[in-house]
Amino acid sequence: MQTLPSWPYPNLVAHRGAGTLAPENTLAAMRVGASFGYKMVEFDAKLSQDQVAILLHDTDLERTTNGRGNAADHPYAALSTLDAGLWLAPAFRGEPIPTLEAVARYTVANNIACNIEIKPTPGLEAVTGTAIARQALHDWREAAVPPLLSSFSLTALEAAKQEAPSLPRGWITKTLDENWRQTLAQLGCVSIHLHHALLTKALVNDIHNAGFRVAVWTVNDPARAAELLRWGVDSVITDALDLIHAA
C-alpha cells in the first residue's frame, strides 16, 4: 500500500457553495453553506473575455443569470452587472457573479476550505488552468488549508501543475478505465473525484492502496453518504446540506 497524501479537508463538502439551497457559485451560497456548518465548499471557476476569473458552471449565461451568450465572450465589467440569484428565488435578486478573488477573501477570512473546479470554456483549457492556478496560489497564500484544484480537463490540470505545482490537484472523471493510476500519477494528483454510483468498497480500497484520496459527487441521500464514509471515502460532495449534517 502506498502512503496516502495529506488530506486536510473535511469529509463533507457543499456543492457549488450551498447545493440547492442558494444560487450556485455565488457568495450568497458560500454564506448559506457556512450557516449549515459546512467548512468546505466546491465551486466552478472560468475566465471572462478579459481573463478575470469568475464563478460559473455553464459555458453560457442563460441558466443561472439574466445574461445571454457565452461568459467568455463578455468582459467582466459586463458580467458584473448580471443578476445571478433571481433565477432561484426572489430573495436572491441582484446577487452578482463573483470573482475568484472575492471568494478567496471570504473563504480565507472565515476559515472555509475550497475545492476549485477548473471549468474552462471549450478551447481555453490550458489558459484557464494556468490562470486559475496562478491566482489560487496568490489569493490563498495566507489560507490555513490550500485550495484543492480539480477538473475534468486533463489539459487544464496539466497547465495548473506547471503553474502551481505546490497546490494539490484532483482529477474528476465520469468513467474509470484501466489507466486511471497512470493518469493520476502523470498529473501529480492527490485525489480522484468520481460519481458516487461508480464506488464500491473494494474500489475505495484499491484507490487508497494506489496512494490516492477519493472524493465523490453528488451525494444527496444521507444513508448513501454514511455508507460511503464508512467505506473510507475521504470527502463527500453534496447538495443536501439540510439533510446531510456537517459535524
Residues noted as catalytic: 15, 57
Q: What is the dihedral of CA 40, 243, 11, 186, to 10 degrees?
A: -80
Spatial contact of 66 and 83, defined as CB atoms under 8 Å apart: yes
Burial of 153 (0-12, 13-18, 19+ CB in 10 A): buried
Residue 112 gets which letter from DSSP? -
Residue 240, φ and ψ in degrees, nearest 5: -95, 65
CA angle at 183 for the pair 182 and 188, rounded to the nearest 5°: 95
Q: What is the dihedral of CA 67, 68, 69, 70, to 10 degrees?
A: 20
